[in-house]
């Protein structure tokens, strides 16, 4: 019996960042593409992640800048009245921004690109067939781009209490007098600062001993200090033991690391305690796709245990960032359509936590280098010594680079104003295997925050000028030196 010829070159399952880029890219290359999404195109980035959170942070920053202390810093009369912001109005602005971007991710746009779009749930019925809307779909390759969802920790009583997550917080249409945030990672810190600046009384609770555990302690401390100045209270090294109540009065009991117990009362509860890949209801077992501990097994080419099924974006279980999802899309297209053995980049992946100040990193942190036994040299430059930071009154933070003994870059950490923009220069430098001296040799516009990249690279150049080196320079060139 002759096998059925697949109808599509690619069937993409999931309409978030990774799936949309795969679909558009494949269609642009001349492939026949089917895009299947059970809800709406756009995914977490548009509706629950980058777009709404950065819109909320901008509103919070504008409101914060009206406060008397900020006005006084810049020599201006106070304009703020001390009243909290109207959360419904702020969230309306968030939804307006989402609506303005939606057409770019609409089914109509993708159909115009030549992509067939089905907005229905589906599942695999065997390793080569996906059933959706009563149709049995065959394709040369399939791509799982189903994203991830917030995880609710097993706190007694949590299932009976109305709690917010990153999927629901932007739908708020009511005042938020007080908020308990469970989780001190990037999402928890960003939302805690945003609500605190809008006038909400905020407490952050986490089992970890400090915020942003993936980052070096001194860099995370800069962010925590900023949140504390904004009024955020912290209960770190604390384990929630019970939650009870309803919206308006939720009581969360917890135990500290020293064994003492206490409770926090808040009008609202937000859980930001991690995310897990969306794998349910897809028939992955029937497709021969292995899932271990909630993670879809995949290799460096993003192939699952079924070589005809690839995975991309948050569902791949790697770094859960939109820019990584877009990178995955390119890797999948090369492997799935053209059999080019492209591999996922893991050495140079920049990211940023968009608090104020921002914390951005690429490559190794000091803690990671020590843990891996990688020899390194560390150089630091404080934003307080940067002229543009002084003019703008944004002097918190520092830039740090790690190099090997020859000056080749191993990693960069920036905690300060516009760190998410400035880290791109170090990401490029590391991708091209450049040295710190290459950054030092590039002219940077004055006065800009990007100058911090050159200033920290200059620290290595200065460190190389040891007293012995200076003596030899004076002898070789006949320099007289200072008197």
pLDDT class of 482 with cuts at 50, 70, 90: confident
Q: What integer pLDDT is reported at residue 481 of this predicted model?
A: 72
Chain-wide mean pLDDT for the chain?
A: 94
- On the question of pLDDT at 1 being above 60, the answer is no
143 neighbors 22 (Cβ within 8 angstroms): yes
Q: Encode pLDDT of 37-82 as tens digits.
A: 999 999 989 999 999 999 999 999 999 988 888 878 788 777 766 6
- Considering the domain 354-467 in this protein, what is its CATH number? 3.30.390.30
386 neighbors 455 (Cβ within 8 angstroms): yes
**Rounded Cα gap, residues 289 and 284, in angstroms:** 5
- Look-up: residue for tokens 């960003």? 190
- Look-up: residue for tokens 């292995």? 290
**What is the DSSP annotation of 400-437?**
EEEE-TT-BEEEEEEEETTHHHHHHHHHHHHHTT-BHH
- On the question of pLDDT at 356 being above 80, the answer is yes
pLDDT class of 470 with cuts at 50, 70, 90: low
Burial class (CB in 10 A: 0-12, 13-18, 19+), 197: buried
Alpha helices in 250-321 (DSSP H): 284-287
Mean pLDDT across 235-245: 97
Q: Encode pLDDT of 313-352 as tens digits.
A: 999 988 899 999 999 999 999 999 998 899 999 999 999 9
Q: Encode pLDDT of 407-462 as tens digits.
A: 999 999 999 999 999 999 999 999 999 999 999 999 999 999 999 999 999 999 88
252 neighbors 180 (Cβ within 8 angstroms): yes
Classified as helix, coil or strand, 323 is helix
- On the question of pLDDT at 262 being above 60, the answer is yes
Architecture category of domain 158-274 in CATH: 3-Layer(bba) Sandwich (3.50)
- On the question of pLDDT at 237 being above 60, the answer is yes
426 neighbors 362 (Cβ within 8 angstroms): yes
Residues above pLDDT 90, as percent of the chain: 87
Q: What integer pLDDT is reported at residue 76 of this predicted model?
A: 76
- Considering the domain 8-148+276-338 in this protein, what is its CATH number? 3.50.50.60
The packing angle between helices 419-431 and 451-464, to 10°, is 50
**What is the DSSP annotation of 112-180?**
HTT-EEE-S-EEEEETTEEEETTEEEEEEEEEE---EEEPPP--TTGGGS--B-TTTGGG--S--SEEE
Q: What integer pLDDT is reported at residue 4 of this predicted model?
A: 57
- Do the two domains 8-148+276-338 and 354-467 of this chain adopt the same fold? no
Q: What integer pLDDT is reported at residue 471 of this predicted model?
A: 72
pTM for this model (two decimals): 0.93
Q: Encode pLDDT of 130-144 as tens digits.
A: 999 999 999 999 999
Q: What integer pLDDT is reported at residue 469 of this predicted model?
A: 67
Q: What integer pLDDT is reported at residue 3 of this predicted model?
A: 47
Domain map of the chain by residue range?
A: 8-148+276-338, 158-274, 354-467
Q: What are the structure tokens assigned to 292, written together?
A: 């271990």
Give the contacts of 429 (CB within 8 A, at least 6 positions apart).
Answer: 409, 438, 439
């Amino acid at each position: 019996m002759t096998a059925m010829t697949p109808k599509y070159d690619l069937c993409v399952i999931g309409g978030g960042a990774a799936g949309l880029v795969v679909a558009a890219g494949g269609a642009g290359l001349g492939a026949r593409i089917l895009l299947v999404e059970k809800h709406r195109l756009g995914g977490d980035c548009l509706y629950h992640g980058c777009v709404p959170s950065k819109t909320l942070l901008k509103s919070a920053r504008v409101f914060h800048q009206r406060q008397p202390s900020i006005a006084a810093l810049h020599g201006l009369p106070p304009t703020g009245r001390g009243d909290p912001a109207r959360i419904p109005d702020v969230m309306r602005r968030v939804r307006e921004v989402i609506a303005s971007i939606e057409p770019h991710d609409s089914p109509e746009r993708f159909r115009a690109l030549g992509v067939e779009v089905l907005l229905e749930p589906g599942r695999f019925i065997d390793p080569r067939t996906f059933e959706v809307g009563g149709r049995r779909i065959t394709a040369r390759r399939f791509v799982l781009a189903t994203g991830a969802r917030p995880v609710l920790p097993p706190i007694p009583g949590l299932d009976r209490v109305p709690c917010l997550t990153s999927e629901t917080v932007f739908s708020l249409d009511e005042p938020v007098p007080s908020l308990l945030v469970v989780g001190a990672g990037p999402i928890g810190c960003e939302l805690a600062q945003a609500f605190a600046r809008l006038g909400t009384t905020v407490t952050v609770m986490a089992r970890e001993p400090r915020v942003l555990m993936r980052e070096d302690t001194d860099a995370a401390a800069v962010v925590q200090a900023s949140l504390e100045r904004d009024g955020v209270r912290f209960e770190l090294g604390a384990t929630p033991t019970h939650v009870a109540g309803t919206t308006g009065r939720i009581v969360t009991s917890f135990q500290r690391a020293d064994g003492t117990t206490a409770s926090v009362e808040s009008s609202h509860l937000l859980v930001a305690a991690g995310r897990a890949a969306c794998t349910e209801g897809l028939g992955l077992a029937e497709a021969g796709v292995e899932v271990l501990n909630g993670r879809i097994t995949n290799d460096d080419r993003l192939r699952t245990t079924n070589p005809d099924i690839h995975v991309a974006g948050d569902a791949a279980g790697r770094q859960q960032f939109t820019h990584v999802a877009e990178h995955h899309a390119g890797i999948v297209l090369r492997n799935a359509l053209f059999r080019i053995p492209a591999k996922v980049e893991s050495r140079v992946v920049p990211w940023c936590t968009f608090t104020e100040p921002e914390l951005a990193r690429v490559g190794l942190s000091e803690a990671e280098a020590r843990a891996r036994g990688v020899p390194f040299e560390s150089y630091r430059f404080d934003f307080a010594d940067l002229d543009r930071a002084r003019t703008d009154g944004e002097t918190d933070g520092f830039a740090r680079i790690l190099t090997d003994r020859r000056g080749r870059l191993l990693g960069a950490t920036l905690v300060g104003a516009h760190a998410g923009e400035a880290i791109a220069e170090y990401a490029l430098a590391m991708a091209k295997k450049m040295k710190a001296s290459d950054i030092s040799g590039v002219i940077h516009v004055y006065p800009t925050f990007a100058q911090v990249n050159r200033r920290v690279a200059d620290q290595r150049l200065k460190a190389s000028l040891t007293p012995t080196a200076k003596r030899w320079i004076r002898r070789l060139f006949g320099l007289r030196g200072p008197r």
